[in-house]
Structure 1
Amino acid sequence: MGEQRQHYNEDFKKQTVKFIQEQAKSVADIAQDLNIPKSTLHQWLSLYREFESEPVNSSERIRELERQLKESDRRVADLEEEIAIVKKAVHIFSKPRN
């Protein structure tokens, strides 16, 4: 036969969503800790999420910002190299010819 479905009251769901929002852990990690399916937690988040109780920087947001920073650093390095080449070219072509 099938497994018995677990039922949770509204207060438990709201407290769990608040807990998720206050943690730096991923939803998958919290789902594993609480032994609740990830999809269930995502449903609860869509129903009970309160943005004012969410931390300013979640770990996912920090990873995204770090990725953007690395990409920007690469672009800056490429542009600095291009500028150095242009400067050398200007110097070479601006010399008077004899």
Structure 2
Amino acid sequence: MGEQRQRYNEEFKKQAVKYVQEQTKTLPEIAEEMNIPAGTLKNWMTKYRSFENEPVGNPEKLRDIEKRLQASEREKEDLREELAILKKALHIFSKERN
């Protein structure tokens, strides 16, 4: 016969989610540690997650993300300028000459 399904109360689920948010381990690692299926823990995260429990990312990671964001913004602006130039060139070269 199959195993009986484990039932958890709401408080346990909330505490498990809080624990996940306070850790730096991956969700599957924590699920294994707590002997809970990772999918179940993920479902609990969706339902009970509150962002005030999550640690602030380390400053180096935040600086790296900020640099990548700035680089993306510069690239996007460059592409806008290139598009504007191409539109002008298309307009100039598509005029009929007499």
Q: How would you bin the TM-score normalised by the shorter chain?
A: 0.5 to 0.7
Q: Which deviations, in whole Å up to 9, do the C-alpha atoms of 1:52-91 show, x marking residues without a partner?
A: 1111228xxx5xx58x87xx8xxxxxxxxxxxxxxxxxxx
The alignment partner of 2:16 has SS state of helix
Residue type at the aligned position of 1:32: E
1:51 Cα deviation after fit: 0.6
Q: Taking structure 1 as the reference length, what is the TM-score of the superposition? A: 0.58
Matches within 5 A, 1:1-98: 1-57=1-57, 62=61
Number of aligned residue pairs: give it.
Answer: 64
Q: Taking structure 2 as the reference length, what is the TM-score of the superposition? A: 0.58
- Structure 2 spans left out of the alignment, 5+ residues: 72-98
Structure 1 stretches of 4+ with a deviation exceeding 3 A read none
1-side partners of 2:34 and 2:57: how far apart?
Answer: 23
1-side partners of 2:17 and 2:24: how far apart?
Answer: 13
- Structure 1 spans left out of the alignment, 5+ residues: 73-98
| Aligned-pair identity (%) | 53
